Amino acid sequence: MRILLVDDEPALRELWADVLREHGYVVDLAGTLSEAQDCLGARAYDLAIADWRLPDGDGRVVADWAAALGGKALVTSGYLPHMPGGVALGHETAMKPLRLSDLVAAVNGLIGKVLVD
């Protein structure tokens, strides 16, 4: 299962990617809306995880693109209570800081757990 992880904080992006990879997921990384668009144009993703506030736009756009392509989306933010409408336009949301176990549980719930032999 392939995940696109979009966050402008490199240390957090790498930490989350490492944890998800340890659980068997294939993870591609992007730090901006533009990079995410390039990734989504190049391949299919089962899930896009996008920070709400990106340097060049709104992470909900990434979620919309992923959903339009048949994937699922999780929008993360430390500001979710202040997000317009309080939700990410029908996408799943998670409040930062997010425990690593909660991240894995959210991903497992959205796209399923990777079965490792």
DSSP 8-state assignment for residue 8: S
Q: Measured between alpha carbons, how far is 60 from 73 in angstroms, rounded to an integer? A: 9
Check whether 116 has a pLDDT greater than 80: no
- The amino acid sitting at 17 is A
Q: Measured between alpha carbons, how far is 46 from 39 in angstroms, rounded to an integer? A: 13
Check whether 82 has a pLDDT greater than 80: no
Return the closest-CA partner of residue 12 out of 77, 69, 64.
Answer: 77
Class of CATH domain 2-111 = alpha beta
Per-residue pLDDT, 79: 74
Q: Measured between alpha carbons, how far is 54 from 62 in angstroms, rounded to an integer? A: 10
Residue-range domain boundaries for the chain: 2-111
Per-residue pLDDT, 84: 55
Check whether 95 has a pLDDT greater than 90: no
- The amino acid sitting at 15 is L
Q: In the predicted model, what is the mean pLDDT of the chain?
A: 90
**What share of the chain has pLDDT > 70, as a percent?**
89
Per-residue pLDDT, 89: 56
Q: Measured between alpha carbons, how far is 46 from 114 in angstroms, rounded to an integer? A: 12
SS (H, E, C) 25-56: CEEEEECCHHHHHHHHHHCCCCEEEEECEECC
Residue 1: both structure tokens together: 């299962």
| pLDDT 10s digits, 28-73 | 999 999 999 999 999 999 999 999 899 999 888 999 999 899 999 9
Per-residue pLDDT, 86: 43
Per-residue pLDDT, 85: 46
Confidence of residue 87 (pLDDT cuts 50, 70, 90): very low
Encode 68-86: b = buried (16+ Cβ within 10 Å), e = exposed.
Answer: eeebbbbbbbeebeebeee
